Amino acid sequence: MTSSQVVQRPEAPAAAPAGPARTAPKRAPRRGLSPRVRRRHWLGLAFAAPGLLFYGFVVIVPILQSVNYSFYRWDGVTTATWVGLNNYISFFTDPALVESLGHVLVLVVFFAILPIALGLLSAALLGRGKLRGGGVYRWLLFLPQVLTSVVVAVIWKRIYGPDGPLNEALRAVGLGDLAKNWLGDFNWALPALGVIGTWTALGLCMVLFVAGVAAIPTELYEAARIDGAGPIREFFSITLPSLRGQVAVALTLTVTGALRAFDLVWITTQGGPGTSTTTPALILYRKAFLNPDVGMAAAIGIVIAIVCLGVALVITRLSEEKDA
């Protein structure tokens, strides 16, 4: 065979260089907690156990007992009678309780809406600049938070009295016709009580908002001023959105405070005159101790607790959605 007869076979393509073999990632073998970690966990539970037991004994057990009592008609002495959900139905059908719910809505305006609005105004005035006498102003507004509710109620009961400072001031400026027994007037007793709540809650709202304003970066305000924004535009574009968390906290505390209002009402008016200032918490007290109906009192307490919890959850959820 000559060289011309030799058939040239095409060369096979060169094999690709072998790369690193792909292997499935190995899972780390599960290992139990080390003895040291276990000891730390048990030690933490041991330290927390007394507090948890005390909390369960003081809070959880009474709540469960109240839920149980709410299904009975019981005066606290004689044998209890099973009534099922009748106590809860009566909460929304009893005219006195329905009227007290309307009073609570009025108190929410005075206990929550007005303090938050005035607190935001105070934060706008005090938070961004040097205001002469600002420290004294903050101290005076926060003073009600230091005083007990009993002291606050006694002070304002004296102010609203027929010969109190408020009526004397009206007479001094020639407005004696407006003087009245504010807490004894059917039309003015509830608004007068609400003003006490506004004065009490304003200090808390102001402190929360001033602290929040102090944490806002000053660069945001400088950039807004460069763009030509005025004080009002700065407030609605920078200050108010930045205080969303503080507003949620203040709104939760003040609204639930209005729903649970008892001490101020009891000391100043005891629900009077007539039933013009009654609240669910006041009716609960009367049902539990004055005209014993322990089952109805327990039902009122459970409903108030559920409403307060629902308000707190709604406000928190709305605040989180806005932040997102």
pLDDT digits (tens, 9 = 90+) for 148-173: 899 999 999 999 999 999 999 999 99
CA separation for the pair 144, 271 (Å, rounded): 22
Identify residue 316 by its one-letter amino acid code. T
**DSSP class of 290:** I
Q: Which of 151, 156, 166 is nearest to 195 (CA)?
A: 156
26: pLDDT strictly greater than 60? no
CA separation for the pair 90, 88 (Å, rounded): 5
Whether residue 273 has a cis bond before it, omega within 30° of 0: yes
Find out whether 243 and 212 touch, Cβ atoms under 8 Å.
yes
Q: Which of 126, 115, 114, 117 is nearest to 210 (CA)?
A: 126
Query: What is the chain's mean pLDDT, rounded?
Result: 86
**Better pLDDT: 41 or 29:** 41
pLDDT at 287: 93
- Tell me the mean pLDDT in the region 237-249: 91
CA separation for the pair 56, 49 (Å, rounded): 10
93: pLDDT strictly greater than 70? yes
Three-state secondary structure call for residue 211: helix
- Tell me the mean pLDDT in the region 35-48: 85
3-state secondary structure 234-246: HHHHHHHHHCHHH
The tokens of 309 are what?
A: 């919890």
Percent of the chain beyond pLDDT 70? Answer: 86
Residues whose CB falls within 8 Å of the CB of residue 206, separated by 6 or more in sequence, listed in order: 118, 119, 122, 123, 126, 138, 141, 142
CA separation for the pair 167, 164 (Å, rounded): 6
pLDDT at 37: 81
**φ, ψ dihedrals at 82, nearest 5°:** -70, 125
Least confident segment among 35-39, 151-155, 188-192, 269-273: 35-39
pLDDT band at 5 (very low <50, low <70, confident <90, very high): very low
Find out whether 123 and 207 touch, Cβ atoms under 8 Å.
no
Three-state secondary structure call for residue 296: helix
274: pLDDT strictly greater than 70? yes
- Tell me the mean pLDDT in the region 261-268: 93
pLDDT at 122: 85
Which domains are assigned to the chain?
100-323 (1.10.3720.10)
Q: Which of 115, 157, 129 is nearest to 252 (CA)?
A: 115
CA separation for the pair 272, 188 (Å, rounded): 11
123: pLDDT strictly greater than 90? no
Longest dimension (CA), the chain: 140
142: pLDDT strictly greater than 60? yes
The tokens of 196 are what?
A: 């006490």
pLDDT band at 4 (very low <50, low <70, confident <90, very high): very low
224: pLDDT strictly greater than 50? yes
- Tell me the mean pLDDT in the region 43-54: 91
Helices (H), the chain: 35-55, 61-69, 86-93, 95-108, 114-126, 134-146, 149-159, 165-172, 189-214, 218-226, 231-234, 240-242, 244-259, 263-268, 280-285, 294-323
pLDDT at 229: 83
Find out whether 196 and 268 touch, Cβ atoms under 8 Å.
yes
Identify residue 215 by its one-letter amino acid code. A
